[in-house]
Amino acid sequence: MDNLIEVESKWEKRYFREREARRQAEKLLEEKSLALFEQNERLKNLTENLEKLVKQRTNELEEALENANQANLAKRDFFANISHELRTPLNGIIGMTHLLFDTNLNNIQKDFNHTILVSSEILLNLINDILDFSKIEAGKIELEQISFHLGETVYEILDVLSSKVNEKGLELYVEEGSGIPSNFIGDPIKLKQILINLASNAIKFTERGEVKIRLSLVSESEKTAEIKFEIIDTGIGISNEKISKLFSPFTQADASTNRKFGGTGLGLSISKKLVELMEGEIGIDSKPGCGSNFWFTAKFTKQDSSKVSYFENNPILINHEAHIFEENEGLAQTLKHHLDRWGISTQIHSKLEEIGSPQNSKNSLIFIGGVNESKLLETTNLQSILSNFEYSFFLSKEKSSKISSICRDLGFTQMLFKPTKFPYLFEELCAALRIEIHENQKEELSSPLTKLEGLENIRILLVEDNLINQKVGLAILNKMGCNAQVAGNGIIALQKMQEQEFDLIFMDYQMPELDGYETTIRIRNGHHGKSKPNIPIIAMTANAMKGDQEKCMEAGMNGFLSKPIIQKELQDTLQFWKKTIE
């Protein structure tokens, strides 16, 4: 009995222990469940908060993206308008300059007019590259592939640089190495832009001495040639630690440079991109106080080597003798190089007083340069020296009436102005020596507008609101032999088309009342009047931003000419559509 009670007691204790354990387990499970529930609630709240935050951030991002798109559209419209406003007067300048070449100009006027033309074309190129940020940012600057003469292209930049060079009393000249081909296919405007950027910098940081542009042949194959261009100055120089900054956008060697000399530092960055497009390299060798040598290489496709410019290796002066006194040794050697190419037997003298009599006074020339006004007057035997020569030329940085009067009184035959442009020097020498350059030899630097046959019966409507561009456009078209009329906007154009038939339309894009885009759409939708429904419409506009050409084509136009109008492009367009119309 006692044993039974003892067993029952054990089972009872065990039962209570197990029940207590189950109760503790249930309590723990309840606590865990509660904790898990609370955790789930917190996770749920956190998830909801995260979803709200993501939604809020997404809305903010979409709003920011929309604002960015609107800002980009506004920026594009702004630059398009700026580009249009700048191109419109440039079209007038370039157009009128071309027309001036077709009038009776003397050599000095042609020189001035050519300077205006070259400067305008370079400014146009800067507008193309700087304002069209979409091309620069996307790395889509494209090079043209057109024929050009290397020597003439390089000498043209002297027109742009001469004013500042002469103002500072510097020498500026081009030194050409041997064996360099003359004729290439490439982008001469971009090449001039690089040279002007580098040469302008050299002039800016040079107070005395010279800036020399040196050309040399790096390598040559059957189809291409690699040319090295060096711009060497006697300026302030640059330290090694500052050279690394030079080709970064909006950067100059140091902050004080911008305050003292001006400029944004953008030119070197653009030049670097252009050089890379020309499969070349760019760099600088410089030391403080020892001047700088900015150099770059560029590769061009060679063109027909049989075509030689009239001022190259033209020995029509073979029976002449020349003596040179020029204080700048580099310029003296360059002058001798060109005179030798033209067949002139040439000597350089280190002292003015050492120049004796030529072997034959007939057909003899003397060049004197690097001499200031006071030294001219102090040279007691100068008149005696000049009297031994049939032709005497003074190389002058000044274009003042005073220096002209002094040279005339001393007996100089003629003044030649620095920096020396050897294509013009050849012409001036031939004119002074009364030697005729045959027209089949001579290549005009800026050829006059040529009249195209068969255009007199083609009726052209020029739709243009700007009065200057109307005048320029009609003058150019008339010079080419076209039968052209003008309409000041799209409404007037549609009225004229109701009254008479036209064969070809040049359509401006941005005009008041009715622009070129809407006018073209109306013509294509049946408002062509007496003209044929498929009349060719060529956009002729200063709007040259990315997408403008595509928009013109979508409206129903057949071609696109960007202002300022390039004569060759206009001639090619007229020739093409002349065949279609006929």
Please report whether residue 450 resides in a domain: no
Please report whether residue 359 resides in a domain: yes
Number of structural domains in the chain? 3
465, 365: one domain = no
What is the structure's pLDDT at 261?
Answer: 42
* CA contacts within 13 A on the Cβ side of 415: 21
154, 256: one domain = yes
What is the structure's pLDDT at 249?
Answer: 54
| Residue tagged 């030649």 (tokens) | 416
Name the domain boundary from 248, 267, 302. 302
What is the structure's pLDDT at 347?
Answer: 93
414, 477: one domain = no
Q: Kindly report the backbone phi and psi dihedral angles of residue 39, in degrees, each rounded to the nearest multiple of 5, phi listed first.
A: -65, -40
217, 335: one domain = no
Please report whether residue 452 resides in a domain: no
* Token output for 195: 């040279």
572, 485: one domain = yes
For 559, the domain range is 459-581
Per-residue pLDDT tens for 240-293? 777 777 766 544 444 444 434 444 455 677 788 889 989 999 999 988 888 999
Please report whether residue 55 resides in a domain: no
Please report whether residue 558 resides in a domain: yes
In SS3 terms, 332-357 reads as: HHHHHHHHHHCCCEEEECCCHHHCCC
Omega of the bond prior to 288 within 30 degrees of 0, cis? no
Please report whether residue 244 resides in a domain: yes
Please report whether residue 68 resides in a domain: no
Query: What does the pLDDT profile of the chain (582 residues) look like in tens digits?
Result: 666 666 666 777 777 777 777 788 777 877 777 778 778 878 888 888 888 888 888 888 888 888 777 776 666 666 666 666 777 777 778 778 877 877 788 877 877 887 787 778 777 766 765 665 455 555 666 788 888 889 888 988 887 788 788 878 899 999 988 888 888 999 998 899 899 889 988 998 899 999 999 999 999 998 999 999 999 999 988 887 777 777 665 444 444 444 344 444 556 777 888 899 899 999 999 888 889 999 999 999 998 654 555 456 666 778 889 999 998 999 999 999 888 888 888 999 988 888 888 888 788 999 998 887 777 777 778 888 898 998 999 988 877 778 888 888 888 988 888 888 877 788 778 877 777 665 444 444 334 455 666 677 788 999 988 777 787 788 888 877 788 889 988 999 999 999 999 999 998 887 888 888 899 999 988 888 888 888 999 888 765 555 667 777 888 888 888 777 767 678 778 888 877 776
CA separation, residue 104 to residues 1, 281, 310, 433 (Å):
151, 44, 22, 22
What is the structure's pLDDT at 450?
Answer: 55
CA separation, residue 291 to residues 229, 233, 269 (Å):
16, 5, 21
480, 565: one domain = yes
393, 258: one domain = no
Q: What is the rounded distance in angstroms from the CA atom of residue 87 to the CA atom of residue 541?
A: 9
How far, rounded to the nearest angstrom, does the alpha carbon of residue 390 sit from its chain's CA centroid?
Answer: 44
Alpha helix segments (H runs only) across 379-503: 382-387, 401-410, 422-432, 467-479, 490-499
What is the structure's pLDDT at 439?
Answer: 46
Task: State the pairing for strand pair 321-326/183-186.
Answer: unpaired
Q: What is the rounded distance in angstroms from the CA atom of residue 179 to the CA atom of residue 186?
A: 19
The CATH number assigned to the domain holding 185 equals 3.30.565.10
What is the structure's pLDDT at 561?
Answer: 81
Name the domain boundary from 250, 274, 302. 302
Please report whether residue 216 resides in a domain: yes
211, 341: one domain = no
Determine the Cα angle at 57 with ends 55 and 62, to 5°.
Answer: 95
What is the structure's pLDDT at 262?
Answer: 41
Q: Hey, what amino acid is at 372? A: N
397, 518: one domain = no
297, 358: one domain = no
Name the domain boundary from 262, 279, 302. 302
175, 296: one domain = yes
The CATH number assigned to the domain holding 570 equals 3.40.50.2300
342, 297: one domain = no
